[in-house]
Structure 1
Amino acid sequence: MTTGVRRRMGVEERRQQLIAVALELFSHRSPDEVSIDEIAGAAGISRPLVYHYFPGKRSLYEAALRKAAEDLAARFEEPREGPLGARLLRVMGRFFDFVDEHGPGFAALMRGGPAVGSSTTNALIDSVRQAAYEQILAHLGVSAPSARLQLVVRSWVSLAESTALLWLDGRRVPRAELELQLVHDFAALAAVSAAYDEEMGDVLRGIIASEPPDGPFAELVERLVALAPLPQGSA
């Protein structure tokens, strides 16, 4: 007969386990509502042992949120191949996967609160936004964006974030529709800006040139044309 022996974890392995346990609990409740006792119980260790690996509650929360922020930022990475519309749609799919899996934790991270309102976690939030911003510019092939293009991209990143937060409150709009709508929103923001700025016009023309007839940007044009009233006298 064999006897089960619990394997002793190394320091870094235990730290990573505690971070993973904390993130799992954050996926169901806000970090402010999760206690160290709960994390210790879920990890199968004592409360004092948690403090052996993390000096305080905030340090564990910050480590867990740093891991989540890195994961979220990575969702915006996409091979720079193929039409931009299809790329953005895949990015939005992965972004909403994260939001769906880590709803309360995502909301707490983005909205702030006593457990996540430190300068460290605020910097984590900014790092996610900056990573998304840089990824979109890379997809556009622009290394020195104009002021208007910066506004378009940063406004769109902010819109994706706020849309996800609102969607979490009841999930009243089908997720797939929101993902497509956000891709359309990017095209709309770029088009409006292009109407005021020639450089943005060049960016928009580059986007359109690579867009296939069945792509998401082409679908937006079809939807807008369908909304336009027919001229009087036409059949």
Structure 2
Amino acid sequence: MTTGVRRRMGVEERKQQLIGVALELFSHRSPDEVSIDEIAAAAGISRPLVYHYFPGKQSLYEAALRRAADELAARFVEPPRGPLGARLLRVMGRFFDFVDEHGPGFAALMRGGPAVGSSTTNAMIDEVRQAAYEQILAHLEVGEPSARLELVVRSWVSLAESTALLWLDGRRVPRAELELQLVHDFAALAAVSAAYDPGMAEILVGILADEPADGPFGDLVTRLVALVPAPGPAPDALPAVPDQRLP
């Protein structure tokens, strides 16, 4: 981020610079706390010049949000190679990289920030969620998802979002554990749905067929098995009951 340095830029170059500066500031503090004066100073231009490119803070905020939304959606793109569990774990790693780097900005994006209720902001949030949803379906190689599969995938995307927001509040759980737990959560949601639906059961069997024992899904099975108490010794045969009948 440049500070206090003036130089001539073309219109589009200057707009992109201001968006980058705003996004950087929003990454460290809530957009509500960042003023146009701070953005202007960080960009090395005057306050009136900021308004020359953007009519107000709201429009600059939305432009920065647009860039953040595009970047976040791109974090869910993953080549469809290898076991699904490993792919999802890499996706979660990139997702939390973004969350870690843009904490307040991520929270503002998902919660609406100063643009709560704005149709533009809500549309951007929905685009990110839809992009994540479509990427997961692509990994599952499903073109027309059933109602249950759609429920599983959209529930998982929502869970990842809410988990990240809660994690930002103090980072009380190690990040790597949360990334793995979210991959396990996907398997758990799919497994529960498979217990009710043959179509989901078929999808789950296909997923697990390609999973190595030391992969994320294999790790989940190991952890669950460890929770099951070992069977105790077989009970001894009951003693014979003496015949109490009268002679």
Could you say which TM-score interval applies, normalised by the shorter chain? over 0.9
- Cα offset, 1:6, TM superposition: 5.5
Q: What do residues 180-234 of structure 1 show as CA deviations (whole Å, max 9, x unaligned)?
A: 0000000000000000000000110110011011110000000000000111217
| Aligned sequence identity (%) | 86
CA distance, structure 2, for counterparts of residue 115 and residue 19 of structure 1: 16
Residue 198 of structure 2 aligns with an amino acid whose one-letter code is: E
1:114 alignment partner, SS class: helix
- Cα offset, 1:113, TM superposition: 3.4
2:6–2:44 contact (8 Å) kept in structure 1? no
The alignment yields a C-alpha RMSD, in angstroms, of 1.2
Residue in 1 aligned with 2:131?
A: 131
CA distance, structure 2, for counterparts of residue 28 and residue 113 of structure 1: 14
Count of residues in correspondence between the two structures: 230
What is the TM-score of this pair, normalised by structure 2? 0.91
CA distance, structure 2, for counterparts of residue 54 and residue 64 of structure 1: 11
1:108–1:116 contact (8 Å) kept in structure 2? no
More moved, 50-59 vs 110-119: 110-119
- Cα offset, 1:116, TM superposition: 4.9
CA distance, structure 2, for counterparts of residue 56 and residue 114 of structure 1: 13
2:28 alignment partner, SS class: coil
CA distance, structure 2, for counterparts of residue 226 and residue 14 of structure 1: 58
1:173 alignment partner, SS class: coil
Residue in 2 aligned with 1:164?
A: 164
- Cα offset, 1:112, TM superposition: 2.0
Higher Cα Rg: structure 1 or 2? 2
1:156–1:186 contact (8 Å) kept in structure 2? yes
**Unmatched 5+ stretches in structure 1:** none
1:22–1:61 contact (8 Å) kept in structure 2? yes
1:101 aligned onto 2:101 = yes
CA distance, structure 2, for counterparts of residue 33 and residue 146 of structure 1: 44
CA distance, structure 2, for counterparts of residue 136 and residue 226 of structure 1: 29
What is the TM-score of this pair, normalised by structure 1? 0.95
2:72–2:95 contact (8 Å) kept in structure 1? yes
Residue in 1 aligned with 2:194?
A: 194
2:31–2:108 contact (8 Å) kept in structure 1? yes
1:9 alignment partner, SS class: coil
1:78 alignment partner, SS class: coil
Residue 70 of structure 1 aligns with an amino acid whose one-letter code is: D
1:31–1:115 contact (8 Å) kept in structure 2? no
Residue 18 of structure 2 aligns with an amino acid whose one-letter code is: L
